[in-house]
Amino acid sequence: MTDDALKSWICLGCGFSYDEATGLPQHGLPPGTRWRDVPQDWVCPDCGTPKSRFEMVEIPYAEGQPAAPLAA
Amino acid sequence: MSNSFVLRADERGYNKILSTGATASYVGGHPDAFITRFSSFNFGEYQDGRPGFGRIRVFGDEGFHHAGCSYSMHPHHNFIICAFVLEGKLTHINTLGGLEDLGPGDYYAFCAGSGGLHEELNRYAEPMRAVYLWLLPDHLLLPPSYTRGHFDAAAGLNRITTLVGSDAGAVPISQDARVSRLLSDEPGVFRYRPRSTGHGVYAFVIDGTLRCDGTLLKRRDSKGVWGAEEIVCETGRGDTDVLFVETIM
């Protein structure tokens, strides 16, 4: 992967994964939002772990993932 | 050339988490219950240690005190969460449909994958003690799964038994890692051979004394070794109980 590639970050408190490519639109982070642009006071939506306790991971997705988001 | 680190029992992180006050929604069993957690790696409030080892991110030596003591139902993704019950009875509940009572020797691997919730509960007055191990998976958002196993102490005496991993009879997981246990009641030499020199081994002494790769380890001491073709472990007289976690580095 190049340094410019979009990456995933995993919460070390619960495993929730943030993917720069998909973002978190329901939490105000559009697809493509880089980790560095996620606010510093942002916390894991599932467990409240601070942004500083996420780890960048280069782990491939399971087959069929990421799944297309369900229609609103 | 192999590398290693030693983590003594009292060098681990320690947290006592109450079922009252700020952590009341995290730990159940108000008002008496509390969880004690010795962390080998950074986790939660303990961030002064090593971040992990290979694919290991959590290794917690935990006690659930008083009837009703629990981690309240909470969500996970991705991590492969294993629990090895050492004492007492653990009730494990998960949203994959699992409702299980586990006793000493019982263990499970819960692959959170694309998502699931679980609760860990001690229903009884006697403490429940377990080792909780979290491993990164080799794929993100896998289909969640739950598999339980049992370590037969009699059959496992004076040999290294694989509990989790790709070996026949072990609980399979989606990661290049395995967990084994050694129970010994007599002096012996055990040569642990990692899959490759690219695999490291984290040895944790549950009880007894073990000379591991030249280092004398006592109860709840541990050692991580990597880059070695073989790790020589020696047990003495008396009972020794060791957990080995091997992981790609």
> Residue A67 and residue B140: Cα distance in Å, rounded?
11
What whole-number percentage of chain B has pLDDT above 70? 100
Instruction: Round to whole Å and give the CA distance between A31 and A72.
Output: 16
Instruction: Judge whether B78 is closer than 8 Å to chain A, CB to CB.
Output: yes
Contacts of A69 (CB under 8 A, 6+ apart): A22, A25
pLDDT at position A71 is 47
Closest CA to B210 of B179, B228, B231: B231
How far apart CA B160 and CA B183 sit, in angstroms, is: 8
Query: Got the DSSP string for A5-25?
Result: S--EEEETTT--EEETTT-BG
Average pLDDT, chain A: 92
Is residue B182 over pLDDT 90? yes
Give pLDDT, residue A4. Answer: 80
**CA nearest to B183, candidates B156, B143, B220, B206:** B156
pLDDT of residue A69: 60
Mean pLDDT of A46-52: 98
A22 and A66 Cβ atoms separated by less than 8 Å: yes
Best B42, B47, B140, B142 member to test A by mutation, with max A CBs in 10 Å, is B140
Q: Does A20 touch chain B (CB under 8 A)?
A: no
| Pairing mode, strands B222-226 and B199-207 | antiparallel
ipTM: 0.96
List, in order, residues 6 or more apart from B224 with CB less than 8 Å away.
Answer: B4, B5, B7, B53, B200, B201, B202, B203
Closest Cβ–Cβ partner in B42, B77, B113 for A14? B77
Determine what percent of chain A falls in helix, strand and coil, rounding each to the nearest 5.
10, 20, 65
CA–CA separation, B40 and B48 (whole Å): 10
- Which residues fall within 8 angstroms of residue B20, CB to CB, at 6 or more apart? B30, B31
Question: How many beta carbons lie within 10 A of that of residue B188, not counting itself?
Answer: 14
Q: What is the pTM of this model?
A: 0.97
On whether the CB atoms of residues B175 and B80 are closer than 8 A, the answer is yes
Nearest to B3 by CA among B197, B204, B221: B197
Contact A14 B74 (CB under 8 A): yes
Q: How far is A12 from chain B (nearest CA, A)?
A: 8
When CB atoms are compared, the residue of B44, B47, B136 closest to A57 is: B136
Residue A67 pLDDT grade (very low, low, confident, very high; cuts 50, 70, 90): confident
pLDDT of B204 over the 50 cut: yes
pLDDT at A2 over 60: no
pLDDT (average), residues A4-19: 95
Q: A9, A14, A44, A56: best mutation site toward chain B, by most B Cβ within 10 Å?
A: A14
Strands of chain A (E only): list them.
8-11, 17-19, 54-57
Each residue's pLDDT tens digit, B114-157: 999 999 999 999 999 999 999 999 999 999 999 999 999 999 99
Has residue A68 got a pLDDT over 90?
no
Q: Is the pLDDT of residue A72 over 50?
A: no
Assess B141–A contact: CB distance below 8 Å, yes or no. yes
Structure tokens at B108: 């499970």
pLDDT, tens digit, 9 for 90 and up, residues B99-111: 999 999 999 999 9
Does any CB of chain A come closer than 8 Å to the CB of residue B216?
no
* pLDDT tens by residue, B17-48: 999 999 999 999 999 999 999 999 999 999 99
The answer to whether residue A38 scores a pLDDT higher than 80 is: yes
